[in-house]
A and B are shown apart, each in its own frame.
Chain A
Amino acid sequence: MAVIRRRRSPQLFSSRPAGALRTLLLIAVSIMLMVYDHQSSGLQRIHATLATLVYPVQAAVNVPHAFLVWAEDKFTTHVALVQENGTLKERVQIADTQLQQLAALEQENLRLRALLQATARVPGRISMAELMASDLDPFRHLVVINKGSNDNVYNGQTVLDENGIVGQVARADPFQSEVTLITDPSQAIQVEVNRTGLRTLAVGTADLEQLSLPYITNDSDIKSGDLLVASGLGGRYPAGYPVGTITKFERNPTEPFANVTAHTAADLSHGRQVLLYWPPAPMPEVSVVKKDTAPAPLPRKNSGKKKKP
């Protein structure tokens, strides 16, 4: 019976069970793909095509959540809305009061920087994106967001949330991008301790809430609760954005470095929205700063994921 079927089978699928040559060929192709993909970014087109192919699958997985959000929007009660409105108004008021001060401080900072002939710190452009998929592979901390190179997302771009740095774009496909979180074991970010200005590296630990700081000497002045901000020295992440807070500082007399961990500032395990950051256009001299000017030009950097110095 198997013989009869074999003769009638179409060419689309393999007609002879376990063709050794074909298997070997496919194994060779897979290995070559892996090597090539690992060493260069020349497979961008294939990646983009495959990402477009599997887009329906990701969309299907997102349907239940989208439905829940829709239902929640539909059936939120009047009372809840009024309450939420009240709290939001309160928060806006508080934020506005703080902003008044900020405007004055910003002006002062600009004047001082002008006096020092330093370049001004210009705010970058920010745009919101939604998570489409997360915990894809438990060994890699990757998420997929719904903006891609069609929205000017580029490889290596910084991704933030309202609390701090989330990660960087690993690959921008036309309609979506993959973002590597700062907790991914392959990632390291240049940080500085806000209180003391000590510069060091924070390395991903494969735990969604923890970073490790392996290069802090035993005699460093660090306390649990210290804020870590990006130092911007690596050239990848913008300076000044929060990265985490120190949770543990254990001196380790037998080793050259202390045992230091930090809790991420950004909420990497919850939340559906992230912010994409475009750095401002490089400004040759200090001039009047305007927020939200024309879209910043997109510096094309090579897509290497590691940024250890």
Chain B
Amino acid sequence: MRDLSPPRSAWIIAVTYLAALILTIWPLPHWAEIFRPIWVPMVTVYWCLWLPHRVGVITAFIAGLLVDALTGTLLGEHALAVVLVAWTALWLHLQVRVFPWWQQCFVVLCIMLLYSFVLFWVDGMLGYTVGAALRWTPVVISALLWPWVQQLLTRVQHRYQVS
């Protein structure tokens, strides 16, 4: 039974990414747009922290490309940002795993800031410089939501024995 686990694990991870992609483009009313968490980097951070041997920069790159295709940005823009997120998470994973929840939130805040900054930087070079609230509120929201996302994904991981 343990031999069957790798492909199934890949499937479960793929499903969590699919959910993140759906939530990324789920239609929201205009005023709620700034409260949308940044789902794909959050999922990436979780898997990179807890399954660093399975999810790495390559998975992150593919997920980022899919976000680019979904949101109509330049190819590679989100890919670059998510790869940096994954790399930071992999680099810190041994420390962050044992942090209490509020310290984890802080680390996630920093990682999401990095993510948003990359997008901000690329968009700035292309001439898209609008909406400070739209750019930075999701960073805070994602960090605040981290304990719940982490709990949820831990449940998923244990329930389906993703390893």
A8 to chain B, nearest CB (A): 8
Contact call A33/B79, Cβ cutoff below 8 A: yes
Q: Are B80 and A23 in contact (CB under 8 A)?
A: no
Contact residues in A for B163 (Cβ distance below 8 Å): 5
Cβ–Cβ < 8 Å partners of A65 in chain B: 27
Question: Total contacts A to B, CB within 8 angstroms?
Answer: 155
When C-beta atoms are compared, the residue in chain B nearest to A50 turns out to be: B69
Q: Identify B75's interface contact among A43, A60, A144, A269, CB under 8 A.
A: A43
Q: Is the CB of B74 within 8 A of A34?
A: yes
B81-97 residues with Cβ-Cβ distance < 8 A to A are 83-84, 87, 90-91, 93
A240 within 8 Å of B (CB atoms): no
Complex contact A136–B25 (CB within 8 A): yes
Most B Cβ at <10 Å: residue of A5, A8, A12, A34: A34
Report A-chain residues with C-beta under 8 Å of the C-beta of B122.
34
A95 within 8 A of B: no
Please give the distance in Å from B15's CB to the nearest CB on chain A: 12
Are the C-beta atoms of B130 and A17 separated by less than 8 Å? no
- Write the nearest CB–CB distance from B86 to chain A, whole angstroms: 8
**In whole angstroms, what is the CA distance A185 to B55 when docked?**
37
A2-B53, A138-B131, A138-B134 are contacts. A23–B71 as well, Cβ < 8 Å?
Answer: no
Q: Which of A51-59, A72-80, A146-154, A246-254 contacts B (4 or more CB under 8 A)?
A: A51-59
Nearest-Cβ distance from residue B130 to partner chain A, whole angstroms? 5
Q: Which of B10, B70, B87, B127 has a CB less than 8 Å from the CB of A54? A: B70
CB distance from A140 to the nearest CB of B (A): 6
CB pair A186 B127 closer than 8 Å = yes
Partner of A30, one of B56, B83, B123: B83
A15 contacts the other chain (CB 8 A): yes
Is A67 an interface position by the 8 A CB rule? no
Task: Please determine whether A26 and B33 come into contact, CB atoms closer than 8 angstroms.
Answer: no
Instruction: Please give, as numbers and ranges, the residues of chain A lying within 8 Å of B74 by CB-CB distance.
Output: 33-34, 37-38
User: Interface residues of A, CB < 8 Å — how many?
Assistant: 55
Separation of A46 and B74 alpha carbons in the complex (Å): 12
Residues of A within 8 A of B34 (CB): 138
| Residue A139 lies at the interface, judged by CB distance under 8 Å to chain B | yes
Say whether A14 faces chain B, with CB atoms less than 8 Å apart.
Answer: yes
CB < 8 Å neighbour of B76 from A13, A22, A33: A33
Classify chain B: how many residues form its interface, as a range.
35 or more
CB neighbours (8 Å) of A46 from chain B are: 75
Partner-binding segment picked from B60-68, B107-115, B141-149, B152-160: B60-68
A17 in complex: contacting residue of B21, B56, B76, CB < 8 Å? B56
Query: What separation, in Å, do the CA atoms of A29 and B57 have in the docked complex?
Result: 12
The verdict on A162 contacting chain B, using a C-beta distance below 8 Å, is: no
Chain A residues within 8 Å of B18, by CB:
57
Q: Which of B31-77 contact A (CB under 8 A)?
A: 33-34, 52-59, 61, 64-66, 68-77
Contact in complex: B27, A30 (CB < 8 Å)? no
Please report which residues of chain A, range 105-150, place their CB below 8 angstroms from some CB of chain B when the two chains form the complex: 133-140, 142, 144
Instruction: Note all chain B residues with C-beta closer than 8 A to A37.
Output: 74-76
Most buried by B among A6, A53, A136: A136
A-chain residues with CB within 8 Å of residue B128 when the two chains form the complex = 139-140, 185-186
Asked whether, in the complex, the Cβ of B57 is within 8 Å of the Cβ of A61, the reply is no
Question: How many whole Å from A17's CB to the nearest CB in chain B?
Answer: 4
- A100 CA / B64 CA spacing, docked (Å): 56
Q: How far is the CB of A176 from chain B (nearest CB, A)?
A: 11
Contacts of B72 in A (CB 8 A): 136-137, 140, 142, 144, 170, 178
User: Do residues B76 and A9 form an inter-chain contact, with CB atoms below 8 A?
Assistant: no
A34–B76 touching, CB < 8 Å: yes
Q: How far is the CA of A62 from the CA of B131 in the complex (A)?
A: 27
CB nearest neighbor in A for B64: A30
The residues in A between 202 and 226 inclusive whose CB is less than 8 angstroms from any CB of B are: 206, 208
| 22 A-B pairs in the complex with CB atoms less than 8 angstroms apart | A2-B53, A10-B6, A10-B10, A14-B58, A17-B56, A18-B56, A18-B57, A26-B79, A29-B76, A54-B69, A58-B70, A60-B22, A65-B27, A133-B27, A134-B27, A136-B72, A139-B128, A139-B131, A139-B135, A170-B72, A186-B128, A208-B30
4 closest A-B pairs by beta carbon, nearest first, are: A14-B56, A33-B76, A50-B69, A30-B80
Q: A22-B57, A51-B69, A178-B72 are in contact. List 6 more A-B contacts (CB 8 A).
A: A14-B59, A136-B71, A139-B130, A140-B71, A170-B72, A206-B131
